[in-house]
Amino acid sequence: MNFTPYNSNLFSFLFSSPTPFHAVTNIEKHLFQQGFIGLQENERWQLTQGHGYYLTRDNGAVIAFILGSDESCEQGFRMLAAHTDSPCLQIKPRAEIRVGSYLQLGVEVYGGSLLAPWFDRDLSLAGRVCCRMSDGNLGVYLVDFHRPLLTIPSIAIHFDRDANKNGEINQQKHLPPLLSQSVDGQLPDFTTLLLAQIQQEHKKADVAEILSFDMFCYDFQEPAYTGAKNEFISSARLDNLLSCHAGMLALGKAERRKNVLLFCANHEENGSTSASGAHGSFLDSVLERIITDPTSRRIALCNSFLVSMDNAHAAHPNFMEKIDAAHEIHLNKGPVIKLNANQRYATNSISAAIFKNVCKEAEVIPQEFVMRSDLPCGSTIGPITAARLGVRTVDIGAASLAMHSIREHTGAMDPYLLCKSIEQFLRSEAHRKIVNYCVR
Ligand code: ZN
């Protein structure tokens, strides 16, 4: 199998999506090109069977769905979910820090970042800027400096001989990146830089004043293959744009005969509690508007199935003591079904079995992950969505290494295998073929 075209498309999605806002815009663009119709949450909708639709909330989350021509809403939806955000450094509102001749930017840590890999990288800046326009309106713009702009230099080993042993990172003191230096008495100010960038990217913008922004640092290094046979992929934000990309492609290709839905939520990395997060009302409210009758909606949810996608931990060859030997996950060995006795993942025996049947139909062999019993388990949007909606859910994902690093790794076949399994799910009847003998 030649994975190159799939991975080339993934690489350009990853590199052109430095923030959740950019990822959502790219998903919208793709779905629009595939004939989906854009909806606005603050307008009334006219929905027709046989058509695909999409809408966004707060620029950071997107829901897309097809009302199948051959299915009633009560037959339920094949649902996919993923998250658009990744751990990173976010610029503080009053960003400028002046130390000697240097200009630095204050940052907060967004999500559970692995911080050491942020040092000595060529960082760029991207995000969303809100402006008062000359006509008095509020203008909201996406910006991406798209060049190496910032660095966080390490302290030389000579000043900290124990750096390789201890290496503690103080988030307030050690992380502000270097933006500029005054050599001729002149220092650019951050607002002027932002304004120039808006004008470069949005030629017609008539901005009077910048009022606020959500700006994030990101690693300006393109995704790449690594390994003697190009068997690995190395990139920023594989967690979880890899899954958003797979969901976007699968939904774009899905036949218009069946009910399918994709939810890409923001703010998973800090707990999902926001208007655009999985704990928020976005998905409930869209379902309420698709199926207005409460009883019909409940029947639809009982007949639905959710595949919640988020990357899974592969066994790290240098840390084999960190894994449960019976659940050793490998790159390039297929999508991973994630289980946890304490519901940190929503998978149960029924949802795992359904997904295994989907994989069999797709001729993909899945792997099964549980955390070591003496280590705490991470979580994802699966349990939150399952609890909110009461929908049967499986948590799955592509195997990966270095999760939450500035640069993560997966197998060259993993994104494609994930996509192949969910493409099959969107046409499968596997979630409906259940006879529950536990019930009399
Ligand atoms: Zn994730």
| Residues in a beta bridge with 123 | 150, 219
Query: Is the Cβ–Cβ distance between 397 and 309 less than 8 Å?
Result: yes
Calculate how far, in angstroms, residue 125's C-alpha sits from the geometric centre of ligand 1.
21
Calculate how far, in angstroms, residue 14's C-alpha sits from the geometric centre of ligand 1.
15
Q: Answer yes or no: is pLDDT of 436 > 90.
A: no
Mean predicted confidence (pLDDT) in 9-34: 98
Mean predicted confidence (pLDDT) in 294-310: 97
pLDDT of residue 381: 87
Helix axes 294-302, 282-290, angle to 10 degrees: 110
Judge if pTM exceeds 0.95: yes
Tokens of 359: 């994989």
Calculate how far, in angstroms, residue 83's C-alpha sits from the geometric centre of ligand 1.
7
From 137, 90, 126, select the one nearest 198 (Cα to Cα).
Answer: 126
Q: Answer yes or no: is pLDDT of 184 > 90.
A: no
CA dihedral defined by 22, 23, 26, 28, rounded to 10 degrees?
A: -110
Q: Answer yes or no: is pLDDT of 128 > 70.
A: yes
Task: Output b/e per residue, 270-284; b: 16+ Cβ within 10 A.
Answer: eebebebbbbbebbe
Calculate how far, in angstroms, residue 86's C-alpha sits from the geometric centre of ligand 1.
7
Mean predicted confidence (pLDDT) in 347-373: 97
Angle CA 278–270–128, to nearest 5: 85
pLDDT of residue 315: 97
Mean predicted confidence (pLDDT) in 80-90: 98
Q: Answer yes or no: is pLDDT of 373 > 70.
A: yes
pLDDT of residue 2: 66
282-288: Cβ within 8 A, 24+ apart: 282/57, 282/61, 282/63, 283/63, 283/385, 283/388, 283/389, 284/388, 284/389, 285/41, 286/55, 286/63, 286/65, 287/389
Give percent above pLDDT 70 in the chain.
Answer: 99
Give the pairing of strands 367-369 and 336-338: parallel
- Can you list the domains of the chain with their CATH numbers? 4-86+236-432 (3.40.630.10), 88-219 (2.30.250.10)
Mean predicted confidence (pLDDT) in 170-174: 97
Calculate how far, in angstroms, residue 27's C-alpha sits from the geometric centre of ligand 1.
18
| CA atoms in the 13 A half-sphere facing the CB of 337 | 22
Residues 6+ away with beta carbon under 8 Å from 288: 297
pLDDT of residue 35: 98
Helix axes 238-253, 414-425, angle to 10 degrees: 40
Calculate how far, in angstroms, residue 271's C-alpha sits from the geometric centre of ligand 1.
11
The amino acid occupying position 331 is L
Calculate how far, in angstroms, residue 411's C-alpha sits from the geometric centre of ligand 1.
17
Calculate how far, in angstroms, residue 157's C-alpha sits from the geometric centre of ligand 1.
33
pLDDT averaged over every residue in the chain: 96
Residue 187's pLDDT band, with cuts at 50, 70 and 90, is confident
Calculate how far, in angstroms, residue 70's C-alpha sits from the geometric centre of ligand 1.
34
| CA atoms in the 13 A half-sphere facing the CB of 225 | 13
Calculate how far, in angstroms, residue 248's C-alpha sits from the geometric centre of ligand 1.
16
CA distance 301 to 303: 5
From 245, 376, 355, select the one nearest 305 (Cα to Cα).
Answer: 355
pLDDT of residue 174: 97
Residues whose beta carbons lie less than 5 angstroms from ion ligand 1: 239-240, 310
Mean predicted confidence (pLDDT) in 54-81: 98
Mean predicted confidence (pLDDT) in 431-437: 89
Tokens of 200: 């470069």
Calculate how far, in angstroms, residue 379's C-alpha sits from the geometric centre of ligand 1.
8
Span 101-124, pLDDT tens digits: 999 999 999 999 999 999 999 999
Mean predicted confidence (pLDDT) in 26-50: 98
Angle CA 74–79–83, to nearest 5: 145
Mean predicted confidence (pLDDT) in 367-371: 96
CA distance 252 to 29: 11
Calculate how far, in angstroms, residue 110's C-alpha sits from the geometric centre of ligand 1.
13
Q: Answer yes or no: is pLDDT of 1 > 70.
A: no
Sheet holding 78-83, edge to edge: 37-38, 51-57, 61-67, 260-265, 78-83, 305-309, 392-397, 336-338, 367-369
Calculate how far, in angstroms, residue 206's C-alpha sits from the geometric centre of ligand 1.
38
